[in-house]
Structures are given as C-alpha cells and as structure tokens.
Amino acid sequence: MTAGPDTLQSTTTGWPWRAGNEFRLLDGGEVFFGRMLAAIEAARMHVLLEMYLVSSGRVAGRFIEALTSARARGVRCCAVFDGFGALGLSGGDRWWLEEAGVEVRFFNPLRWRSRLRNFRRDHRKLLAVDGEVAFVGGAGLADEFAGPDAWRELMIEITGPVVADWQRAFARTWRRLGPALALPEPAAVPLPGGALGRLALSEARQHSVLANGVVRRIDAARTRAWIVSAYFVPSRRFRKALRRAARRGVDVRLLMPSARTDHPWVRQAARRFYGKMLRNGVRVFEYQPRVLHAKMIVCDDWVSIGSSNLDRWSFKWNLEANQEVADARVAGAAAALFSADLAVSSPISRRYWPQRAWLDRLRERIAGALDRWLEGWRRPP
C-alpha cells in the first residue's frame, strides 16, 4: 500500500520524508528504558535529552547515573526539561547533574508574572545519541513507567537519516533557551531496504502541522484508522473526520483509558463524544489492566507515535513531537500491539451506552463544560 500523496512533500515546518530508516517499536518501560540507557552508555560524542515529566526516583536515578557516567568519559550531555513537568526532580538530583557537567535548561519555568504563558509546556519526549539513534514516544523519566503496575506506554527506536532531523529539532528548542547547540551535522546515510519516516511537530501558538497531518490521513484511510490515546478530547474537525471514515466503511477503532486513569475528568470530557461516534460506526474500547498512557495512530500502512494525545489542549499550548512512518511492516507491528491491547479492553456498546448511569452523564456534562471554558481562553501573544 502506498504512503499517500504527500509522501515526498515537506511539511510547512520544513521536515521532509526521509528514506532508508529502521524503526523498532518498544513495548513497555522495561524494554524502552533498557534500550535508551544502553544507547547513553554507548555514546561517544553527545547525548540530547528532551523530557516533559522528570521525577526523582528509581527511573530518573538510572538516567542521571548514565548521563553523569557519560560526562565522565568526555561525552557532551544536554538536557531540556519542562519547567512544570520537572517539578518532581529534587534539588539533590539537579545538583548531581550540574556538578557532573550535564548541561540542563528548563523550558518556561513557572512565574507568577507569566500568567497564562505558564500553560505553555514542552511535552516532547526525545532522546538522540551521536546523531545515530533516537527514541521518541510518550514516556517520562518517572517510576510510573516501570515495574509490574507500570503505565501502558510505547516508544519507537529510530536509526537512519531521520535521526539527523531529530537532532535539528532538539537544537531548535535548545536555541530558544540560550546559546546555540553547535554540534556537527550528523551523517544521513540511508539504510538499504529502510522505511520512509519524518518528524511531525506541533508548536504552541501555531497552526499544528501534526494535527493537520493526522486529519488528512484519516480522510484518506481506506481500510483502518486505529487510535490509542490517553487523553482524547478531540476537536470537532477530528470527530467529523472519524465519523466520515467510519461511514464510508473504514475500520475506525479508538482505544481509550478506563476508570484507571491519572486524569479522570479528562476521561469524562472525552466520553461525552462516544454516543455520536458509536452511532456513526466508530468502535470504542476502554483499556482495563492499567493506566493507559500510550499515543499511537495507525491509518492503513502509516503510523504515528509520539507525545501528542491529539487533544485540543495539546495543540493549543504544548510543544509535541511524533515520529511518522510509512511502511507496511511497521504498520503491521503497530497493529499487532493494538490488537493485543484490544484483547484486554472492554468494548463500549452502542446499544447500552444511552442507558449508562445518570451520575456518569452528570460527570460528563460537568467535564465538558470545563473543557469548553478552558478552550475559550485566549493564548497570550
């Protein structure tokens, strides 16, 4: 199956499709944290880390140890942490990083005088090492993503020419916070038989290329449009695209969080849209075993994995980053993960949805009113 008419086009933010990449889906914290730490331990030149959620604990401690060890052998280590998401990073851990020579910059630290600008957050999750390998997804450096009750999360490991673009993307964020990064341009050598891939970034205050791309893919889907999202409060445009796709016979499935969620009111705000989507043929499932935190879209043979929840709040206020892949093999692997999660999820019944408890309806209305109120806030210039 072809990747679509825009395969060879650059996005409006300048990120073109790159051929000759390898992508590896990493399923669960024990897997992706292990691969990320191994990459840092093998680093020879530089480690670039951009994270929203960073909280002192076992996971963050392992990364701090890996970064300080890398610095001890002469590797340059640069980290961008979000000023709000990293509030859980202790003063001792910050001192340890700075003492070791790890260069740390904080995106938009909270300030009273900033007012609504405090809502601008760097929600991206990126690790790039030596211009050779990158990791992108939805996990933070926090203990919630490891252990037997870890939140359900995915990351993607990337090698090939698109890694150079991830290094450039990090450099842009780094430059916003201080002097330029000044690293050598990585070699962009295509791998034989590799897949097409490109960056999809969302910049706060700008019309989202990431959001537009997903809507286009849903509109162009012929067989499937499967979405996993932890906090799915989509715009009207997204909802209409999903309903249109289902009405023309596309297999549209949404995998959403159950009552096991860290943001119950966001879940309630999303559930108010279920009825209309169910009536139009969209199938909705709620993941049961653990907290669902993954973010993935599969449309035919196109996949997008990253930090974006596809909700209006993210596109309005956050920096987001997804890896797009146009490849049947990667799409097949992503679909297999999706299907495995569906096997432990509960379907929402179109027949019985109108009969749900009045208390659930009330919660949905209150959450919906709050969502509309927040949506009405004007972004600061």
Q: Check 82, 122, 125, 311 and give the catalytic one.
A: 125
Write down the residue that tokens 């024990």 correspond to.
Answer: 30
Relative to beta strand 121-122, strand 318-326 is parallel
The Cα–Cα gap between 338 and 91 comes to: 39
The Cα–Cα gap between 153 and 27 comes to: 7
For 234, the token pair is: 């989509």
Q: Check 123, 311, 316, 341 and give the catalytic one.
A: 123
Q: Check 46, 82, 122, 293 and give the catalytic one.
A: 293
Residue 130: active-site member: yes
Q: Check 122, 130, 301, 341 and give the catalytic one.
A: 130
For 211, the token pair is: 């959001």
Q: Check 295, 301, 327, 341 and give the catalytic one.
A: 295
Please provide the DSSP assignment of 312-348 as one string.
HHHHHHEEEEEEEEE-HHHHHHHHHHHHHHHTTEEEP
Please provide the DSSP assignment of 173-184 as one string.
HHHHTSS----P
CA-derived radius of gyration, the chain: 20
Residue 125: active-site member: yes
Whether 34 and 156 have beta carbons less than 8 Å apart is answered as: no
CA-CA distances (angstroms) from residue 327 to 194, 256, 331, 358? 9, 25, 6, 45
Please provide the DSSP assignment of 237-286 as one string.
HHHHHHHHHHHTT-EEEEEEE-S--S-HHHHHHHHTTHHHHHHTT-EEEE
Phi–psi pair at 298, nearest 5 degrees: -125, 115
**Amino acid residing at 50:** E
The Cα–Cα gap between 311 and 139 comes to: 17
DSSP 8-state assignment for residue 301: T
Residue 295: active-site member: yes
Q: Check 122, 165, 300, 311 and give the catalytic one.
A: 300
Write down the residue that tokens 């715009």 correspond to.
Answer: 235
Coil, strand, or helix at residue 305?
strand
Active site residues: 123, 125, 130, 293, 295, 300
